[in-house]
C-alpha cells in the first residue's frame, strides 16, 4: 500500500479504528426521528474528474442527540419494568442506527465500484451518488408528499436491520415497541415505514433494490413511472391506500411486462434458473468492507464516552452489546455454532420486560 509521510493513504486508510472528527465539523442526521443522530458519508468526494477518496467517509454519530433520544426510550423501558434501562436503550438505539447506516454503505460501495469501473474504461465519472443525494434532499424538504415515499433506500435500510438473515432481526419487536423502527405503513414517517414487506418478502427486497439502482442510473425519483397511479389511489382512498399500494406497484413494475403494457424484451434478462429479472445491477448485499471495518465518527460532548463504549478494540462491540440486548429481549438461546452476531439465522424470540 502506498504511503505518504509514513501513513497509509487510499481506502485502506479508511479501515482504521473509530476516529473523532475535527473541531467545527458540520453535524448532519437523517430526517426520521429515530435516526436523526446518524448519517453516512460517502466513499468518494463528488465533483472531481478522477476518483478522490474522502478521508472522513463512514458512519457519523451526533452523540448528544443520540443520548437525548435514548433517554426517552429508557423512560419507556422503565415503565415496562426493564432493569438497567438506560444502558439497554442506548445500545438498542446505537445498534439500530449503526446497521441502518451500514446498508447505506452497501449502496454507496456498489455505486462507487460502478463509477470506478466506468472511470477505468475512460467513461467520465457521473457522480451518481451525489446526484441521488440532491434528489433525495429535495424530497425531504417537500415531505410529506407521495413522491417522498419513493426514497426507498431508507425503506431498504430499515428492512436490512429487521430481516431474518442477521440476528438483529430477532430484536425487531423491541425496535418497534420503542418507536425506533416505525410501525409498518406509518405515513407520518414516510419511506422509513415501508420496511416490512422488504424485510419479509425476497421479491419485495429485490424489486426495491432494482428501484434504487435505477434511481441512481437514470437520475429520476420514479424511473418506473408508478407515481401517477399511486397519486390516483391516494385521491380515491387516502394516504393509507397509497402507501399500501406503493411497494406492491414497484414489485409489479419490476416483473416482466407484456408489450401491450409497454414492456420491451431487452428490459429483462433470464438467469441460469430461468427467472426473468429486470435489467439493472441487482441488489445490495455487500459493502466494500465488513461492518467492523467501516469507520465511525463520534461528534459532540458525549463522543469520547461513546467512542470507548463502541470501540472494536476493546472486544465488547458489537458482540457484547448484542448479547446484552438478546439476553433481555428473547426467550430462546443463541445457536452456539457461530459467535458472530451478524451472521447466521435468527432465533425464535419474544419481547418481554
Give me the residue spans of the domains in the chain.
28-329
By the 8 A CB rule, do 1 and 10 touch?
A: yes
Please give the pLDDT value at position 105: 94
What's the pTM value of the predicted model, to 2 decimals? 0.84
Q: Which three cell numbers stand for residue 278?
A: 429486470
Per-residue pLDDT of the chain (353 residues; tens, 9 = 90+): 233 344 454 555 544 545 677 766 777 899 999 999 999 999 999 988 888 989 899 999 999 999 999 999 999 999 999 889 999 999 999 999 999 999 999 999 999 988 888 888 988 888 899 999 999 999 999 888 889 999 999 999 999 999 855 568 889 999 999 999 999 988 889 999 999 999 998 888 988 998 999 899 999 999 888 899 888 988 888 887 887 788 888 888 777 666 665 556 656 666 666 666 665 666 787 777 788 788 999 999 999 999 999 987 777 788 888 888 888 886 433 444 443 444 443 333 333 33
Residue 23: which residues within 8 A CB-CB, separation 6 or more? none
Please give the pLDDT value at position 97: 97
> For residues 85 and 135, what is the distance between their CA atoms, to the nearest angstrom?
39
Nearest CA to 147 out of 22, 282, 252, 239 is that of 239
Q: Which three cell numbers stand for residue 115?
A: 463509477
What's the 3-state SS for the chain? CCEECCEECCHHHHHCCCECCCCCCCCCCCCCHHHCCEEEECCECCCCCCCCECCCCEEEEEHHHHHHHHHHHHHHHHHCCCCCHHHHHHHHHHHHHHHHHHHHHHHHHHHHHHHHHHHHCCCCCCCHHHHHHHHHHHHHHHCCCHHHHHCHHHHHHHHHHHCCCCHHHHHHHHHHHCCCCCCCCCHHHHHHHCHHHHHHCHHHHHHHHHHHHHHHHHCCCCCCCCHHHHHHHHHHHCHHHHHHHHHHHHHHHCCCCCHHHCCCHHHEEECCCCCEEECCCCCCCCCCCCHHHCCEEEECCCHHHHHHHCCHHHCCCCHHHHHHHHHHHCCCCCCCCCCCCCCCCCCCCCCCC
Please give the pLDDT value at position 296: 92
By the 8 A CB rule, do 203 and 150 touch?
A: no
Amino acid at each position: 500500500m502506498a504511503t505518504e509521510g509514513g501513513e497509509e493513504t487510499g481506502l485502506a486508510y479508511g479501515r482504521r479504528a473509530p476516529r473523532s472528527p475535527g473541531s467545527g465539523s458540520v453535524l448532519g442526521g437523517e430526517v426520521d426521528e429515530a435516526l436523526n443522530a446518524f448519517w453516512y458519508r460517502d466513499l468518494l468526494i463528488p465533483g472531481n474528474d478522477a476518483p478522490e477518496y474522502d478521508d472522513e467517509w463512514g458512519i457519523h454519530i451526533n452523540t448528544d442527540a443520540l443520548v437525548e433520544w435514548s433517554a426517552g426510550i429508557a423512560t419507556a423501558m422503565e415503565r415496562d419494568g426493564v432493569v438497567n434501562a438506560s444502558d439497554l436503550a442506548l445500545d438498542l438505539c446505537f445498534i439500530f442506527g449503526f446497521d441502518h447506516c451500514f446498508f447505506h454503505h452497501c449502496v454507496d460501495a456498489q455505486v462507487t465500484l460502478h463509477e470506478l469501473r466506468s472511470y477505468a474504461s475512460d467513461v467520465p465519472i457521473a457522480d451518481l451518488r451525489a446526484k441521488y443525494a440532491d434528489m433525495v434532499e429535495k424530497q425531504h424538504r417537500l415531505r410529506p408528499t407521495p413522491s417522498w415515499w419513493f426514497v426507498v433506500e431508507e425503506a431498504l435500510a430499515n428492512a436490512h436491520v429487521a430481516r431474518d438473515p442477521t440476528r438483529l432481526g430477532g430484536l425487531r419487536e423491541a425496535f418497534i415497541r420503542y418507536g425506533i423502527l416505525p410501525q409498518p405503513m406509518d405515513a407520518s414517517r414516510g419511506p422509513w415505514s415501508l420496511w416490512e414487506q422488504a424485510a419479509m418478502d425476497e421479491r419485495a427486497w429485490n424489486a426495491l433494490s432494482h428501484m434504487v439502482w435505477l434511481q441512481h442510473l437514470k437520475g429520476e425519483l420514479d424511473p418506473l413511472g408508478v407515481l401517477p397511479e399511486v397519486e390516483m389511489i391516494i385521491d380515491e382512498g387516502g394516504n393509507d391506500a397509497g402507501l399500501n399500494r406503493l411497494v406492491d406497484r414497484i414489485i409489479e413494475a419490476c416483473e416482466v411486462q407484456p408489450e401491450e403494457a409497454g414492456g420491451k424484451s431487452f428490459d429483462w434478462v433470464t438467469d441460469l434458473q430461468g427467472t426473468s429479472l429486470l435489467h439493472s445491477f441487482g441488489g445490495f448485499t455487500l459493502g466494500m468492507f465488513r461492518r467492523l471495518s467501516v469507520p465511525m465518527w463520534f461528534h459532540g460532548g458525549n463522543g469520547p464516552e461513546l467512542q470507548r463504549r463502541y470501540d472494536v478494540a476493546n472486544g465488547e462491540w458489537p458482540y457484547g452489546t448484542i448479547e446484552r440486548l438478546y439476553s433481555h429481549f428473547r426467550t430462546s438461546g443463541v445457536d452456539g455454532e457461530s459467535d458472530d452476531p451478524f451472521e447466521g439465522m435468527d432465533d425464535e424470540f419474544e419481547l418481554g420486560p
